[in-house]
A and B are shown apart, each in its own frame.
Chain A
Amino acid sequence: MSLIRTTLFLACVSTSVLVGTSGIATELSSRLSQALGTENAPPQAAFVLRPATAAPLERSLAAPLAAPSSPLTAPRPSLAKKRGDPAATSAQVDESALRFYASQNDSARVSMEIKRIKILHPAWEPPGDLFDEARDPAFDTKLWELFAAGRFDDILATVQDIRTEDPTWRPSPEFAKKFEIAVTRADLVAASDAKDSATVLRLAEQRPDMLVCADVDVMWRVAESLVETDDSERAQDLYRFILVQCNNPAERVATLQKAMQLLPLPTVKALMASSGRRTMGEKEMEAVNLDLLRRQIGATISDATAPVVPAAEMRTFEALVTQRRLSNDAVMLGWQRYAQKDWKVAATWFKQAVDWDKSPKAAEGYALSLRQQGLLTEAEAAAYQWRESDPLVAKLYVEIVATALTEPKPAVFEATRLAQTEEVVAKTSSAVGAQALGWYYYNTGAFPKSGQWFAKSVAWEPTATSALGLALAASRSKDQALFKKTVAEFGSRYPAVAALQIDKTRVVAAGGRSKGQGAVRTAGGDSQAGLLAKEASELFKDGKYRDALAVLDKRAAKAPEDQGLGVLRGWALYQLSQYDKAKAQFAEMDKKSSTRDTQYGLYYSGTKLDPTHLGD
C-alpha cells in the first residue's frame, strides 16, 4: 500500500507547452525539404552534448543586443582626423549611417554614403551584409505566420505556390532551418510520447541543433530516451549541460526533478555536485533538496533495504515540514513511521496533516496508527469523524467496529454506537460490516435482527460465513423456510452450509459460539490427549494463550490435532499477535476442510496483516 502512496507525494514537474503539432510523419519532413529546395542536414554520428554546440547560438542571439545605438545619433567620423587615411579599416569607419540607409532600402543614399566614405578612407571596404534584412518580407511574413500557427502543411503548399511562379525562389536560410527543426521536433515529441526511444534518439542525432536551452523540453525527452536505452551516462551529460548552460532557474530545477525520477539517487546527487558551480536561487535549491529528501524518504517506505536517510537531514526535513505546514509531506512522514512500526509518531504526523489540511489520506493514516497502538476507541472515533472524506476511511471504520463486534468477548455496544455502525454499514453496503452485525446480534440472542444483517451481507457479497450465519439465524429464529432456502441456495457452493443439512444439531450447537470461543470439540475422550486438549481450552479461556500453545504442542506429540484444536491453536497465535503464523495455521486447515471456523480465522488473521485491504 505505501509503495503506491509515496509516488503521489513526489512533486510533479510541469512540462513545457509544445510548440509543434505532434504526429507529423517523418516522411512529411523530407517532402518539405524537397519542396523547400533545401538539402537535409548532413547526419551526425553522435550528437555532441558539450557546451560548444549551443554556445554559438546563444552568442548569435545575443549579438543584436550588442549592436550600436541609433545610427541617427551616432557620431560621424571626423574629417580632420580620418581624411585620406589609407590604413583606415572598417573598425575606424562609422558605418551606422550606411546601415541606417540600408535598413530603409535607400540605395541612393547608400551608394552616396559609400562614395563619401571611400573618398575619406580609400582602403575601406563597405560591408557586404548591408541589405541582408531587405529581403522581401511579404512571403517570409506569411511563412512565419503559418509557422507560428503550426500550419506546416500550409507552409508546404505556400512554398510550392511561390515556386510554381519562380522555381528559383527559396525561403530564407533562417526559416528553412527553423522549419526543419520544427518538423523534426514534432516527430521527436510524437516518438517520445509513444515511448519510441530509438526514434527519439535517431532524430536527435539527425538534428543536434535542436538541443538548445531555448527548448529544454526536447532535451528532457532525449535524456529520458537515453535512460530508457540504458545510456545513463549520456543522459547525465545532457542533464549536466542544461544545469551548466541554461539560464532559466525554473528549468534547471525541473531538470533535476526529471533526473530524480529517472536516475538513481546517488547519480542525481553526483549530477548536482558536478554542476553545482552555477548558482541556483536559494528557493530553487531548497525545492530541489526537498525533492531529493522526499525521494529518499519515499524509498525507505517502500523498500526496507533502501539506505537510511541521515538523521540530520531527517531533522531538517521534519522541521521544514512543521514550519511550512506541508501536509503532504507530513502524511509521507507518517507512513515512514508507520512502516517502522512507530505508531505513536506516525499518528502525530498524520494528526498534524489532518489539522492543517483535513487530508483524507492523513485521516486514514491517523486512524490506522491509533488502532495499531491499541487505541481502538480513538481509532474508531477518528475513522467515524472522517468517514465521509474518503471511502477508504469509511471502510476502515467498518473494519474497526467489525473487529470490536466479533471480539471473543464482545463488549456491549451502546445504542448510539450501534446506530452509527449500522448507518455506515448500510451506507457503504459493507458485506463484512453486515456480517459482523449479524454475528453480534446472533451472539446477543437477537436472531431475527441477526438474520436481517446476514441477509444484507449475503446480498451485497455472499461468502461461506455470511451464508452460514444466515442459515443459523434462520434456524434459531425457527424460520424453517428461510433455513431451507439458504441451505438450498448456498449448500452447493459452500460445504460448511451443506453440512448444516447433515448434522443440524451439532452445527447449531457449535454455531452458538463465535470464533473458536469454546467451540472446541475434543477428540480423545478421557485419554491423556483428551486431558491435554481440555487443559489447552481452559488456558485459552483464561487468556493464557502462550501456555495454551505449549499444552497443544505437548498433546500434538501424542495424538493428531483435529480441526477444533487446530482452530484453538490459530486463535491462540492470533491473540499473541503472531498473525502470520495464525494465518498459516488457518490456511492449512482451510485447505484440508474449509469450515466457518477456518474461514473466519483466515479472514481475521489476514486483515491484521493487511489492514487496509480489508476483505479484498
Chain B
Amino acid sequence: MCLIVLIGSTCPHAASWAVGERARAPLADSVRPGPAPKEGQGLPENWLATAWDNYKRQFVRSGRVIDDVNKISHSEGQGYAMLIATKASDRAAFDEIWNWTRKELYIDPSDLAAWQWKDKSTPNVTDRNNATDGDILIAWALLEAGEKWHSPDYVDAARKIASAIGRSVVAEGSGGAVLLPGRTGFTAKDQPDGMVLNLSYWVFPAFERLKGISPEIDWNSIQSTGLRLIRESRFGPTRLPSEWIAVDSGKPAPAQAFPSRFSYNAIRIPLYLAWSTVNQRDLLRPFAGLWNDTLNLGPFEVELPSGAALDAFGGNGFKAVVATAKCAVDRKKLPAALQKIEQGSYYSTTLHILSLIALQERYPECL
C-alpha cells in the first residue's frame, strides 16, 4: 500500500487513487538499553512465536490487520501478516487473515486486491485500485503456506493472483519488464513525467518463489530491471532512491508528482535486496550507512536533492532493516538491542520481524 496520507487535489490523474506519502510513525520507540540477550547467542528459540503472539494481539482483529498509525487496513499489511503467520506456523491465524483478505479485498474482477480498507467508510473499500506489492506479498505468503501445509488451495490462490499480476501490472518499460505500482494511474499517459514506479514494490525474495507457479511471467526480466533501476536511482549526494521514480527516457528520475525524498517506502528496498539470493552487496551499500549504530544516529528520511537529513524514522524496525543491510554488506552482527521485538507501530514492528526472519534465513552468522 504505502500510499496513506491523502494528498487530495495534488494527486496525480487517478483522482480516487490516493497517492501520497506513507505516514510517519510517532517517535515513540528508540533503541532502549536494557536486559537483552548477549550478542553471539542468536535469537531465542521461541522469539518468532512470542513476537507473533504480540503482533496478533496488537494489530490483528478477526483476520484484519490494522495499521495503527494510519487507522486503516491494506493489502500490504494482510500480506505481511500472512507471511509472518506462515513462518510462525500459525495456520489458524493464517486462514483467518486470508479469509478476511479474500472476502474484503479481492472483490474486483481483476483478481487483484483493493489496496485499502477503511473501517469508518461505507463501503469499506472506496478505491478498487490495487497496490502491487500487496498482491505480491499475499501470493508469496499463499505459496509458502501451500507448501508448508500441503494445501493445493493456497497454491491455486497464489497462482490466480500471480496470473492477475502478470495480466494487469507487468508492463514493458525502461528497457525491460516492470511492475506498475497499481493497475491504473501510473503509465506514461497518467503521469506528467512518464511511467511512475515504486522500487520498494520489487519484493525480490518473492520473485524467486513465484517463478515456479507463474512461468508465463518473465520474473527474471522484472528482477533485472529492478536491480538496474535501483542502481541508476542514486539521487543526490547521498545516492539514495526516491520513493517514486519516473522512467520516461530510460534513466530514472525522482517522480515530479511526489516529494523527492528517501522515506518510508524506499526503506524496504534494502530489506528485500538482502533477503533475496541475488547477492547485490554493491546495491546495498548506500543503505548500510543509514543508521550509525555506534552513535544510534538515524536512519533519517532524506531530502534527496540536497542529501540533508529530515526526521528520523520512528521505530526499531527501520534500524533492524539497516542492520540487515550492514550484515549483508560487511557481515556485521545484529546489535543486541535489536534482537528483541519491542512494542512499536504496525509498520516498524512488521519490518523488525521480517528483518529477523531474513537474517535467520540468509545470514545466521550475523545473529
Residue pairs across A and B with CB atoms within 8 Å: the count is 95
Question: Do A166 and B302 form a contact, CB below 8 Å, given A108-B290, A114-B307, A135-B285?
Answer: no
B282 touches A139 (CB 8 A): yes
Interface flag for A165 (CB, 8 Å): yes
List A contacts of B227 (CB < 8 A).
166, 168
Which residue of chain B is the closest to A118 with respect to CB atoms? B308
Knowing A105-B289, A106-B289, say if A135 contacts B282 (CB, 8 Å): yes
Of B224, B285, B287, B300, which contacts A168 at CB under 8 A?
B224
Residue on B nearest A110 in the bound complex, by CB: B238
Binds B, one of A123-131, A274-282, A454-462: A123-131
Q: What 0/1 readout, one digit per residue, does chain A (101-126) give for beta carbons within 8 Å of chain B? A: 00011111111101100100000011
User: Which B residues are in CB contact (< 8 Å) with A125?
Assistant: 306
Interface pair B297/A169, CB less than 8 Å apart: no
Given A115-B309, A138-B281, do A127 and B237 touch, yes or no (CB 8 Å)? Answer: yes
Select from chain A the residue with minimum beta-carbon distance to B231: A168
Residues of B contacting A168 in the complex (Cβ-Cβ under 8 angstroms): 224, 227-228, 231-232
A488 at the A/B interface (Cβ < 8 Å)? no
Assess whether B285 is in contact with A111, with CB atoms less than 8 Å apart. no
Contact indicator B291/A108 (Cβ below 8 Å) = yes
- Residues in A with CB closer than 8 Å to B289 are 104-108, 110
Number of A residues with CB within 8 Å of any CB on chain B: 28
B279 and A111 within 8 A (CB): no
Name the CB-closest residue of B to A139.
B282
Does the CB pair A111–B280 fall under 8 Å? no
Are A130 and B237 closer than 8 Å at their CB atoms? yes
B237 nearest CB neighbor, chain A only: A126
Q: Which residue of A lies closest to B240 (CB)?
A: A107
Taking CB atoms, residues of chain B closer than 8 Å to A139 are: 282
Report yes or no: B282 in contact with A111, Cβ–Cβ below 8 A.
Answer: no
Q: Does A136 contact B281, Cβ atoms closer than 8 Å? A: yes
Residues of A within 8 A of B92 (CB): none
The smallest beta-carbon distance between B234 and chain A, in angstroms, is 8
A307 in the interface (beta carbon within 8 A)? no
Taking the nearest CB of chain A, how far is it from the CB of B236, in angstroms?
A: 8
Contact assessment for B281 and A107 in the assembled complex, using a CB-CB cutoff below 8 Å:
no
**Residue of A134, A135, A139 with highest tally of chain B CB at under 10 A:** A134
Chain B contact residues, majority secondary structure: mixed
With A118-B308, A166-B227, A168-B227 known as contacts, the answer to whether A107 contacts B286 (CB < 8 A) is yes
The verdict on A167 contacting B286 (CB below 8 Å), with A109-B292, A110-B238, A114-B308 known, is no
Please state if B297 and A108 are interface contacts (CB–CB under 8 Å): yes
Report the Cα distance A114→B239, complex, angstroms.
Answer: 13
A134 neighbours in B (Cβ, 8 Å): 285-286
Known: A126-B306, A128-B237, A168-B228. A112 touches B300 (CB 8 A): yes
Contact with B along A436-456 (1 / 0, CB 8 A): 000000000000000000000
**Within 8 Å CB of A104, what residues of B?**
289
Whether the pair A136, B308 counts as a contact (CB closer than 8 A) is: no
Which residues from B are CB-within-8-Å of A107?
Answer: 238, 240, 286-287, 289-290, 298, 302
| Chain B residues within an 8 Å CB radius of A167 | 224, 228
List B contacts of A111 (CB < 8 A).
Answer: 238, 298, 300, 302, 307-309
Determine whether the beta carbon of B297 is less than 8 Å from that of A109: yes
Closest partner residue, chain A, to B296 (CB atom): A108
B338 at the interface (CB under 8 A from A): no
B278 CB-CB contact with A under 8 Å: yes
Hey, what's the 0/1 contact readout for A568-600 against B, CB within 8 Å counting as 1? 000000000000000000000000000000000
Question: 14 A-B Cβ contacts within 8 A?
Answer: A107-B287, A107-B290, A108-B291, A109-B297, A110-B307, A111-B309, A112-B298, A115-B309, A125-B306, A128-B236, A134-B286, A135-B285, A166-B227, A168-B228
* Closest 8 pairs (CB-CB, A-B): A108-B298, A136-B282, A168-B228, A107-B289, A111-B309, A115-B308, A105-B289, A126-B237
> Hey, which bits of chain A sit against chain B, CB under 8 A?
104-112, 114-115, 118, 125-128, 130-131, 134-136, 138-139, 165-169
The interface of chain B, by Cβ under 8 A from chain A, is 224, 227-228, 231-232, 236-240, 278-282, 285-292, 295, 297-300, 302, 306-309, 329
Known: A114-B237, A118-B306. 20 other contacts (CB 8 A): A104-B289, A106-B289, A107-B287, A107-B298, A107-B302, A110-B237, A110-B289, A111-B298, A111-B302, A111-B307, A112-B297, A112-B300, A114-B309, A115-B309, A126-B236, A134-B286, A136-B282, A166-B228, A167-B224, A168-B227
